[in-house]
Amino acid sequence: MMGSTALLQRVGLTPLVEAKIMRTIIKSSQPCPPAASQRARCLEAPVSTVTQTEVVTELYRAHHGWLNGWLRRRLGNASDAADLAQDAFLRVIRARNADLVVEPRHYLATIAKGLVVDLFRRRSLESQYLELLAQQPEQEWPSPETRALVVEALMEIDRMLDGLGPRVKQAFLLAQCDGLTYPEIAARLEISLRTVNNYMARAMEHCCLYQLQQAGE
């Protein structure tokens, strides 16, 4: 997977615009829900691949309508609900653990909640990005394909920084986006230089672990 910074550079944005785009990242995003596979209550023994396919099919027949309605009530939009319901079952297929699920609706709702969070985050970032573009001369606007790449990069950055505390994230963004030195960050946030060093070490460790996890998937 291409790194988020490399992806932003690839689309040809100026450093100033790139920095402004990076600052549109949600400053204090809520932690992502735990992976559905971690929260599902499971049986002990797996079954064959053939049975796995049959279980997914039965799961879809029995619970797709319920999940679609559950999402529609929360989103107020039938089209979004249908899309996320399909995405939820695609995740079930990729997880290859449908035969282990004891409480299907609890399991599906957990997946769906994560998808809803992602949807709102994407739309928030996309809206802020478009507002930023509107401040630029129209002849400098990137193509729709490039805009889609930028939004994907923003989503990746947001996911990478998710889980950091607001102050740690703020210090990291001040260093990476605004180019502030550690003493300048300490003055801006009214904290000690030692605290800034600790924040940056935590942020870098967090980002490295995220990249390793992504590389392993």
pLDDT of residue 153: 83
Q: What is the mean pLDDT of residues 173-181?
A: 87
Q: What is the mean pLDDT of residues 159-180?
A: 86
pLDDT of residue 190: 94
Q: Kindly give, in sequence order, each residue whose CB lies less than 8 Å from that of residue 22, ignoring residues fewer than 6 positions away.
A: 8, 154, 157, 173, 176, 177
Per-range mean pLDDT, top range of 17-21, 59-63, 145-149, 205-209: 59-63
Q: Kindly give, in sequence order, each residue whose CB lies less than 8 Å from that of residue 77, ignoring residues fewer than 6 positions away.
A: none
Residue 197 is assigned to a structural domain of this protein = no
Residue 96 is assigned to a structural domain of this protein = yes
pLDDT digits (tens, 9 = 90+) for 105-119: 999 999 999 999 989
Which one, of 70, 141, 144, lies nearest residue 105 by Cα? 70
Rounded to whole angstroms, how far apart are CA atoms 111 and 89?
9
Residue 110 is assigned to a structural domain of this protein = yes
Beta-bridge partner residues of 101? 42
Q: What is the mean pLDDT of residues 57-79?
A: 94
pLDDT of residue 35: 44
What φ, ψ does residue 79 adopt, rounded to 5°?
-65, -45
CA distances from 15 to 3, 8, 83, 166, 176 (A): 17, 10, 35, 24, 12
pLDDT of residue 179: 87
Residue 175 pLDDT more than 60?
yes
Q: Report the percentage of the chain scoring pLDDT > 70.
A: 76
pLDDT class of 45 with cuts at 50, 70, 90: very low
Rounded to whole angstroms, how far apart are CA atoms 146 and 198?
36
> Residue 42: which domain range?
4-163
User: Minimum mean pLDDT among 53-62, 65-74, 80-89, 205-214: which range?
Assistant: 205-214
Q: What is the mean pLDDT of residues 87-115?
A: 91
Residue 86 is assigned to a structural domain of this protein = yes
Rounded to whole angstroms, how far apart are CA atoms 80 and 37?
23
Q: What is the mean pLDDT of residues 180-205?
A: 93
Q: How many domains does the chain have?
A: 1
Residue 12 pLDDT more than 50?
no
Six-digit token string for 142: 């990137």
Alpha-carbon dihedral angle through residues 109, 114, 120, 122, given to the nearest 10 degrees = -140
pLDDT class of 209 with cuts at 50, 70, 90: confident
Contact present, 12 and 142 (Cβ < 8 Å): yes
